[in-house]
Structure formats: C-alpha cells, structure tokens
Structure 1
Amino acid sequence: AFLCGFDQATQQDFEHRRQWMLDRLAEIDAVFCIDICAYAIMSNHYHLVLFINKKQVDNLTDMEVIERWRTIYTGPDIIQRFMNGEKLSKEHHELISEIVEKWRERLEWLLLC
C-alpha cells in the first residue's frame, strides 16, 4: 500500500497524505500525554520515537482529562450531559469517574487512535 508520494504503478500522487499525517501527529501530541521526539514518513510506512509522559497523566485533573479526550472523541452521552452542567445523580458521577480513569490510562496511548 502506498502511503505518501507518487505511485509509479497507478500514476497517482499521494503526497497530500504526508500533511494529513503531520496534522494528526500534531493533534495527538497536544491531546495525549506524549512527546514526539522524532518521526519519519516514508512512501509506505512511518516511524515515531515517542516519550510517554506518565507524570503528566498523573497530574491532570479529571476535567483536564475530559477536555483533552473530547478534543478528538465526543465521548458518551453522560459526559456530554456533565459538561453541559446538567444535574446528575451520585451513580452518574461514579460512572463519570470510572470513564475518566479509563481515559486517563488511555492518554498514554497513541497507536489505537
């Protein structure tokens, strides 16, 4: 599969995908608690050197976790209701805490997004 550049076999230019990848890397670098130390985008694959900042993840407030996560994903309805300031039950707040904890762990992830 051709990722970037000009494909001689099909005579198609896929160079625009390189910018898509750079834009996506910038987005996930800002949201996930990682630092992109180096990268290389070739015609059929790419390489990333990452630093996973566990300390940064641990220091985020629940609201920061929600805000970061929602920049890429909408999240479940209960989170949206919480962000809209709706009055929620104790059970709903417990569910939100569980979701936020799961998201906190996932802020260290990159390859699944």
Structure 2
Amino acid sequence: MYEEQLKVIAELAAEWRERLMSISWFMSALNEDIARQANAEDGCTGRFWEGRFKSQALLDEKALATCLAYVDLNPIRAQMADTPELSEFTSAKERIVTAQKALDSQEPHQPKSLFPFVGYPRQDMPAGLPFRLQDYLELVDWTGRQIRDDKRGNINNSIPPILERLNIDAEHWVYNTQHFESQFKSLVGTAISIRAKFQKFGYQRTPGLGLAELLT
C-alpha cells in the first residue's frame, strides 16, 4: 500500500512539474480566473479572450523590437488612444511618464518594474534590452504615425536610427508591427535566425521561412 501511494505521488509530482514549466497551462489557468471575474462583473458567460493563446519565440533583435512595438501600439490600432503617452496599461506609457519626471537628466530614468533599455550591444553589456530608450520611444511614435490613417499627411519622413542599425526596411517594419501575430508562427526572427533554430531542433519542415526571407 505504501509503495502504491509513493507511486501515485511521484506521478502527480511529475505532472505538476511539467505544468509549472508550461506557458500554455499557465495561460489557461489565468484565462479561467479572469473570465470568471469579468463574466461576474458583466453578467455574461463565455471566454475572456477571443482567440487561443499562441506562443512565439523571439530569436533576434529585430523580432524583439517588432514585438515590443506591436504590443505598445495595440491601443492606437484599436483607436483607444491617440498617442503612446496616452495609451493606458502599456509599458511605453509607463516608460514615458517615468522619463518625464527627470527631464534635466542626460539619461532618462526608467521604471524599476520594467526590464531596462541598456543601449547598443557591446562587451560586458548589462542585462536589459539592446536598444537606447530614446531610440525605442522615437520608433514607437514614428510607427504610430504610419498606422493612423487620418495622419498620413503629417508623417515625419525621417527614419528612426534603430531601423537603420538593425537593417530593417521601413515599409516592412510598419507591416510587421500591424500583423505580428498573424504573419509569424512559433518562431519570429530573420531568415538566418529561423533556419539556425530549425537545424538545432532537427526540423525537416520550415514553416514561416519564406515570409521571413521576404520581410527581413
């Protein structure tokens, strides 16, 4: 009897370890709790999010910058805000508000609760996002102007330096930041990054590689 109980406990422990490492299981548990609270508040039933959770691996700096801008510009695409600094519940707004508190500083202050921007890639680089905060905020603002149809006549034609450093075509960048989830599957990055990851995993098929070669 004792051995049977240990066997059951070992099986349960293995299952829970697997779940604790699963982003999909975490999102499922999170979704259920939020859906229950939202449905109770609104007096309705159903899922909280319309689509299923999708996990995408960001393989390089281009993919990281695209994903960051895609998320920070969600309120503007949804016409819930006119500018990044007015976009509620985004990291871009929190970074802007924090930076504005120390305008006399040479380097803008950054929120302690968010992963910091640490500047250009270099030796002995601290942990953080491999861009300058100033460049990223300029990039988000510039991209938001391209997305807003009613502002096409007032677009600033200057290209943010970060696009030039990452060798990203401006037209492809704008397209990617509007269709990030639908255009990329499980892996996001340049064609070289995606091909290297497929080889590492031993995959025979290379879904999304053709699109990556076209857009990057």
Same fold (TM over 0.5): no
More helix by share: 2
**TM-score normalized with structure 1 length:** 0.29
**TM-score normalized with structure 2 length:** 0.18
More strand by share: 1
